[in-house]
A and B are shown apart, each in its own frame.
Chain A
Amino acid sequence: MSGIPQALDAIPVLGILFQLLGYLVANIEFMSHTTVAVAIPITLAALCGVMCERSGVVNIGLEGIMLTAAFVGWIAGVVAVGILGPGTQLPVFGITVPLLIALVAALLAGMLVSLLHAWLAISLRVDQIISGTIINIGAAGITGYVYSLMASKSAVGAGSFTTYRVPSGVADFPIVGWLINAVLSQGPIGIITILVVIVLQIMLFRSRWGLRTRAVGEHPRAAETVGIDVIRLRYRNVVMSGALAALGGAWLSMEQTNKFDTNMTAGRGFIGLAAMIVGRWTPLGAFGAALLFASATALSTSLQISPPQGDLGALMGRVPGEFWEALPYIITIVILAGLIGRSIAPAADGQPYERESAT
């Protein structure tokens, strides 16, 4: 195995590329698992964006919805554990009663914040960018305030979901076993996300609801003429999509970790927004773009955990660690700027709708 690759590695300049390739292959299992995990909250944010923008509402408040849900989920867990005790763990996913209560609370919180955005954007016809920004600032401010009150209490939340263990028979399957293992050894929110991507893709392009949603986002006037209640459908979609972004927030405070942190979303809502654009406003595309963004994070994590050897290691050692941390954001900017012209938004995206009879 080692004879030819080592000879290749020794080639000046080009050898670095072969070393990088070798490093990637050696760490592929770890990186693909991390990629899927990191992509989950980004995907959920992007799916929320797809549902909103397909029905003609720009939702830049994804970040705030996620943060609120992460916080409410955690604090509901604290309260539930305080009243019910930690509860017994089910063998699947480590589900406990307080954990389920916390998850439901997080989803409701996300839908409530979405309702605020829907009210501002659809009924009050406020500029949707400003409405979303207010949600972001408000979520950061209020969760930060309450969290700082809690900080001295060393409160214990409801814990976190555990990951699914892929049966060894499947994981050891030749060629594709490791990939199945990487994709499926996630917590319940992760697995739900993958299902939602598929279901939403089919629903959006193959169901009556999907057709109506797209009609409302492309040409609301025409949709209303054929009897679709534009305002109501937009409300419903924005509020329902809030549950998706909330699921992303819940993933942060209940699956990735078991605690809340101020501003723990760290821009994932915005990366999700970029993934939505890169994925051309389709669930599958958004998932793919989220995986692409997440792979940058996975690569940087891998480089920190197991630094490469040889020339490649020496080269990587000269790149400051901050660069790797900034990489996902840089990639988001570059891809966004490079792709945006060729990615076309729904025609009525961001335009408030006024009923014909109202004027």
Chain B
Amino acid sequence: MSGFGRVRRAALLSTVKRAAIGAARPIAEPLAAIVLALLVGAVLIVLFSGLVARHSAFDLGLPVAAYAALLEGAVSPNGMTATLVYATPLILAGLGVAIGFKAGLFNIGGRGQFLMGAVGALAVATVVGQTQSSYITIPLALLVGALCGAAAGFVPGALKATSGAHEVVTTIMLNYVLVFVTYWAISGPLALPGSPQPISVDVATRNAALPIILGRDGHLGILVALVAVPLVWFLLYRTTLGFEIRAAGANSDAARYGGMRTNRLIVLTMSLAGLLAGLGGATTILGVVHQVAPGYDTTVGFDAITVALLARSNPIGVMFSGLLLGAMRAGAQTMQIQAGVPPELVDALQAIILVLLVVNVLRRWLDGRSRQHGSTPSAAADTAMLADATA
């Protein structure tokens, strides 16, 4: 047990050290990245609306109008609800990516896991919903959706544990496979009987629509996401499993030396990440989308990476960054209607935020390195750094 204790103390020490380095700028850095990204985004808006769209020759007021519309779409009374609705899958999938980062795993499979959650929920609505009341259908649909998502996370986890295939490549490849599985499911076994076009059943007609708890379309899923945040925090910081996940992420060799079964941890973490993203897919289908046509897709997978990186993988931070990105997605529609700026701007903004964050992370790392002279952290330690919470 002494070996284990040493590992624990070393992990604790390094956590404390990193926390001390990062404590000065835990919120300032993401905020600075967001503000800078908005500025660069403003340049993009002016430049491309002048060069490409040509409806206005370099209108300097356009970014102001666009951002004002974005804000209005995100925080007006109806916009607030929309923000929460958009944030729900982002928070859930973002928690999944964050847990992965904590374990030193990079889960890009959010898209496929989300879609599997959607398919699982639709399957329950299709099969069970006609005969059972919503008290049975809804919990069952959420559960099956979450489990289907977990299965989609399990596969790359198991491949990594058994063969060492990198999860970044396998999750992306699996995303494409699962997109086709989703099309097949919706146009085949889950299709609405007798419909001329392939389309799924409407969950509202199958006692499976989530109850509205807020405004016009604020569904129960919002509550699910907000409850998941403290649960994941508790799991990561107050349970043995959470400690093992963080230890494996900080130094997998040390964790193995300390007696942890790291391969089992990889599979478990990826499954858990898939479970959360799958729950995001299930709540979105049961709460907002209700009926799905082939071609249905999601940007949640990539958005969740931004959410987790912005939050430095801290579950509480994920809630805030999820709300922020949800607000951007919610406001994007208003921005398009009022200012004529396409909603894809949000994707561009995200990319800029990410670049700025990564460059900033480096500055933080350099600051820390000058204090502890001479050590050369490996790439893995760098990832852990990036994923490290300041909590």
Contacts and interface: CB of A to CB of B under 8 A. Distances in A.
A352 B175 CA distance: 30
A219 interface: no
B354 interface: yes
A142 interface: yes
Query: Looking at chain B, what size class is its interface with the partner chain?
Result: 35 or more
B154 interface: no
A129 B108 CA distance: 11
B108 A141 contact: no
A112 interface: no
B355 interface: yes
Interface in A140-156: 140-142, 144-150, 152-153
B358 A141 contact: no
Contact of B165 (A127, A137, A141, A337): A337
A140 B305 CA distance: 14
A164 interface: no
B2 interface: no
A333 B174 CA distance: 8
Given A320-B188, A337-B159, A267 B305 contact: no
Given A127-B379, A142-B351, A337-B159, A149 B169 contact: no
A239 to B, nearest CB: 18
Contact of A145 (B44, B108, B383): B44
Interface string A308-324: 00000000000010110
A148 B351 contact: no
Given A146-B52, A326-B177, A134 B354 contact: yes
Given A137-B350, A149-B49, A340 B382 contact: no
Given A133-B106, A134-B355, A125 B378 contact: no
Contact of A130 (B52, B106, B173): B106
Contacts, number: 151
B344 A145 contact: yes
Q: Most B CB atoms within 10 A — which of A120, A126, A153? A: A126
A341 B183 CA distance: 33
B302 interface: yes
Nearest to B41: A145
A-side interface mostly: helix
Nearest to A351: B379
Interface in A259-290: 266-267, 270-271, 273-274
A326 B177 CA distance: 5
Contacts of B231: none
Contacts of B184: 320, 322-323
B359 interface: yes
A336 B159 CA distance: 9
Contact of A338 (B163, B180, B378): B163
Given A137-B302, A144-B347, A145-B44, A128 B173 contact: no
14 contacts: A126-B382, A137-B305, A137-B306, A138-B348, A141-B349, A144-B344, A147-B344, A149-B342, A274-B169, A322-B181, A326-B181, A332-B173, A337-B162, A352-B379
Interface of B: 44, 48-49, 52-53, 106, 108, 159, 162-165, 168-170, 172-177, 180-181, 183-184, 188, 302, 305-306, 309, 342-345, 347-352, 354-355, 358-359, 361-362, 374, 376, 378-379, 382-383, 386
